[in-house]
Amino acid sequence: MAQTVVGVDFAAGVVRAVEVGGSSRKPMVERYAEVAVPLGAIVRGEVMEPHTVATALRQLWSNGGFSSKNIAIGIGNHRVLARDLTVARASRERIRESLPHLVQDMLPMPVADALLDFYPVAEIDGEHGPQVQGLLVAAAKDAVLGNIKAAKLAGLKTVEVDLVPFALSRVYLRGPDAAGTVALAEIGGSTTTVVIATDGVPQFIRIIPTGSDQITLELARRLEIDPAQAEQLKRQIGLSATAVPPEYQKALEVIYEVAGELLTSLRNTINYFNNTRPDQPVRQILLAGGGAALPGCERAVNEVTRMPVVVVDPLAGLEISRKLDENALRQGRPNVAVALGLTAGRAA
């Protein structure tokens, strides 16, 4: 039996956890829970107030009834980077050991301040022998230390720190929609994660430091309304293709301005990949995340990128335990994706 590891997502205003059981052929979501935390306790996935979040984690474990205190956490904000890297063929462990000596010039921070990993993609024959092409992943250490501290204070053991784009890939890059070369665009609250993959294997990663929360903040600021009203207005109007009443016109302009910048970044990311890898162009976009639920989002992405768009479901192909409220879980399904991806693939 594989060791049970619970996926924990540190999100703005909430911590979530998922435990998956069953078998690799028939995985089942066995436990899920979430607990609110005060705004500011977690910022862009980083724990700012470990003791506050530890209290929430203890409540989370009490509510969710998780069978293990071993957890996997994710990192995936503006302080994480992924770069192409080709190295001499060796075991992944040896490649990891050599990274500090290979990548200093590629990092915007001292090697001593970074967590480094290597994700192999393909083996090739180089001028001096076999090589491995892959992705260098680097994250600022202090971007995750607060999360690990909060978990420890709550009596939990962090056994793995994973990259959020990889977690999302395990959730969404499955089935016929992920065949060939596709771009996964997960529009979250504070970031938009773009993973371009071929037959489910990530080839390129970019984390755009803008998400759907930016729309809410701009609506609140410019219209001088509170964030709750702004969020409701955003969800009501969305990226409307039709005219709106005059009282909503200003809100619509703000939404299109902020969303337009995000969609332009998405288009430019895909164009960059296609220009550098003309032999494997992106054939379609898989759209996910809470931002994808905005009315008109699918159409807007299609219009800006001129590419087919498919909205994907993180719970597709998964069984849901009868102990859980399946309707509630499915209604909030974009929110469960990160924690689900952190624990996915561990079923025996």
DSSP per-residue codes, 76-103: -STTEEEEEEEEES--HHHHHHHHHHH-
Cβ pair 170, 344 in contact under 8 A? yes
| Dist CA 149 CA 42 (whole Å) | 13
> Tens digit of pLDDT for each residue in 290-344?
999 999 999 999 999 999 999 999 998 889 999 998 888 888 888 899 999 999 8
Residue 112, Cα to own-chain centre: how many angstroms? 25
What mean pLDDT is predicted for residues 73-83? 84
3-state secondary structure of 224: coil
Query: How much is the pLDDT for 1?
Result: 44
Q: Is the pLDDT of residue 223 over 70?
A: yes
Query: How much is the pLDDT for 76?
Result: 83
Longest C-alpha distance within the chain, in Å? 67
CATH topology of domain 6-78+142-176+313-343: Nucleotidyltransferase; domain 5 (3.30.420)
> Tens digit of pLDDT for each residue in 23-55?
777 889 999 999 999 989 998 889 999 999 999
Percent of the chain, pLDDT > 90? 61
81-140 has the same fold as 6-78+142-176+313-343 = no
Beta bridge partners of 126: 129
CATH topology of domain 81-140: Dna Ligase; domain 1 (3.30.1490)
CATH number, domain 212-309 = 3.30.420.40
Query: How much is the pLDDT for 44?
Result: 85
What mean pLDDT is predicted for residues 165-173? 92
Q: Is the pLDDT of residue 78 over 80?
A: no
Q: Is the pLDDT of residue 117 over 60?
A: yes
Query: How much is the pLDDT for 346?
Result: 57
Domains of the chain, residue spans: 6-78+142-176+313-343, 81-140, 212-309
Of the pLDDT bands very low, low, confident and very high (cuts 50, 70, 90), residue 5 is very high
Of the pLDDT bands very low, low, confident and very high (cuts 50, 70, 90), residue 225 is very high
